[in-house]
Amino acid sequence: MRFLILLACLLAACLAEKPYPCESPPLLTGGLAVSTQNEKLFTYAKYLYDAIGRRVRLMELGTYENKSFTYDVLLLYREVNDA
């Protein structure tokens, strides 16, 4: 009998919540660093996420076999309709 009451309460609690879609934060930043064991590659990357403008910016600075490189890219996800 107790099991049925517990099961009914659990079922009621599960059905009481209404599902909603996940939302990302409006602005998000972060960074990461990568290095290999033999020290041929070292890189530091930073990312900026803008949910309002629907864009991601990736900035990377590093060295590979004693040669430095940079990488800066802006990814745009907004579609423009010229209708």
Q: What is the CATH number of the domain that holds 34?
A: 2.20.25
How many helices and strands (H and E) does the chain possess?
Answer: 1, 4
- Is the C-alpha dihedral spanning 72, 60, 53, 21 positive or negative? positive
pLDDT tens string for the chain (83 positions)? Answer: 788 888 888 888 777 777 788 888 899 999 999 999 988 899 999 999 998 888 999 999 999 988 999 999 999 887 666 55
37 in any annotated domain? yes
pTM of the model: 0.61
17 in any annotated domain? no
31 in any annotated domain? yes
78 in any annotated domain? yes
Structural domains counted in the chain: 1
pLDDT at residue 29 in the model: 95
Which domain covers residue 53, as residue numbers?
24-83
pLDDT at residue 82 in the model: 56
3 in any annotated domain? no
CB 74 within 8 A of CB 54: no
φ and ψ at 64, to 5 degrees? Answer: -135, 115
41's tokens: 């590659």
Identify the bridge partners of residue 48 per DSSP, sorted by sequence position.
29, 57
44 in any annotated domain? yes
pLDDT at residue 26 in the model: 92
